[in-house]
Structure 1
Amino acid sequence: IVACKKHQWACQRFLKDIEREGTADFPYFFDDEKARRFLFWMTQFKHTKGPLQGENIVPEPIQIFIFGNIYGWVHKDTGYRRFKKAYWQVGRKNAKTQSLACVGSYEAFANDEYMSEVYIGATKTEQAKICWNEIKAQISKCELLNVPEKKYRVAYGQIEHLKTLSKIEALSKDAGKTG
């Protein structure tokens, strides 16, 4: 696989961390089940646009690596995730919005945290609404979430998980000027 130096470093860091797992100076371990849980969540959604529209999402190797790292590494004592922040930069037409929509819905719907809040931020309202609309489109076609006892509600610019009262909301710098 052709990769730049930073990608190579990320892979080397992952392999070194696997070697350090379980040692006294490294309090984290890779929980394969937690990584797979998120990746399974992604596969429950369908592509909403393009030539794959209507087909279930199948995570690409880079998505498996990135999201596996984010969700798989946990602290051995607390069980909390190792990474609290992530930065992912890819070119146009590489399913960024689709991937981040999966992250947003996972954080609000699948982690069972009571009253979690997912905010999609952007400079302009229209930009923030792109990802929010993607989440809305994905969950509307998701068999896992569309059961007789609806698990979510879309109202007042929010997507709310009814069981945990978690919410997803689009925010923008524009909205700050008007309230």
Structure 2
Amino acid sequence: MPMHQETADDLIRKIFALQRSLRCVTQRSADIGGPGVALQGVMRMIGEDGELRATELAAKLGVGPAGLSRHVAELEELGYVRRRPHPQDRRAYLISLTELGDSVLREALKNRAVLLQDALADWSEDQAQLASSALGALSDSLFTSIRRAPGTAGPTPETPYPNPQELTTK
């Protein structure tokens, strides 16, 4: 039986509330030091792939080339990423984290995890795993739906969004 309209409305409200809450936790972790939230997101995507083309990174992040270029330039200036010419395509370049960038990213993700653990101190491990599993299943279903939708600019098998469960283990 399909989901009722009221249930869909309630789920949307709760997803938006979760996004707002996560933004606050994420911002608090960025306030500890290091790159801001947006730059951390860019670094995380680069770190997951090791090295990738700027166009691939832009597609994964869902941003345009100009926005990505600004982020990459700032990260490069901070010493967190490096760009090198693509060996097979002179028009493109490959982006990767530097050792400093990898270290800063790991520390930022660790700080974020500690803040989340503190915020959910009254949760049991079982509750956290159940929530993680439910959120992973929800994300997987939404991403699968986006991939099937005709004419969308969503993720493709070549540039999928990351599995949210994988992000928590990095």
Structure 2 length-normalised TM: 0.28
Bigger fraction of residues in strand:
1
TM-score (norm 1): 0.27
- Higher normalized contact order (CA 8 Å, seq sep 6+, divided by chain length): 2
